Amino acid sequence: MRAAWAWFAGGDGFVLSKVPSEASFLNALGMWVAGMAGVSGFGMTVAASQWWSTSITRVLCVLPLWAVLYCLIERLVLKSFGTSWAWNLVLTVPRLLLSLAIALVIGLPMAQVIYSGSINDELSKTTTSRIHEATNEITRTYVAKVAVAQKEIAAAQAKETRLQRQVTNSRFLADCEAGLATCSQTHKLGRGPFFKRDARRAATAAAELKRARPQIAATIAANRRKVAVWRVAESSQIANRVATIKADRDFLARQAALDRVENASPSVKKYVEFFLAFLIAIDLVALLLKLTHLFSTGGAYERSAAALRANDLVEVHRLQERATVLTHRITLESRAQQDADELRIRGEISRDPEFESDELRLNERPRRRPSVGGPATATPIGD
Identify the residue with better confidence: 200 or 319: 319
Distance CA 302, CA 91 (A): 15
Phi, psi of 231, deg, nearest 5: -65, -45
pTM of model > 0.85: no
Phi, psi of 311, deg, nearest 5: -60, -40
| pLDDT confidence tier of residue 371, bands split at 50, 70 and 90 | very low
Question: Average pLDDT for residues 159-169, to the nearest whole number?
Answer: 84
43-79 pLDDT tens trace: 999 999 988 888 889 999 999 999 999 999 999 999 9
257-303 pLDDT tens trace: 999 998 998 999 999 999 999 999 999 999 999 998 988 888 888 88
Helix axes 116-179, 251-264, angle to 10 degrees: 100
Q: Largest Cα–Cα distance of the chain, in whole Å?
A: 182
Which pLDDT does position 190 carry in this prediction? 64
Q: Can you spell out the DSSP letters for 83-120?
A: S-HHHHHHHHHHHHHHHHHHHHHHHHHHHHHHTHHHHH
Contact 37, 71 (CB under 8 A): yes
Question: Average pLDDT for residues 133-153, to the nearest whole number?
Answer: 91
Q: Can you spell out the DSSP letters for 138-199?
A: HHHHHHHHHHHHHHHHHHHHHHHHHHHHHHHHHHHHHHHHHH-TTS-SSS--SS-HHHHHHH
Distance CA 211, CA 121 (A): 64
CB atoms within 10 A of CB 186: 13
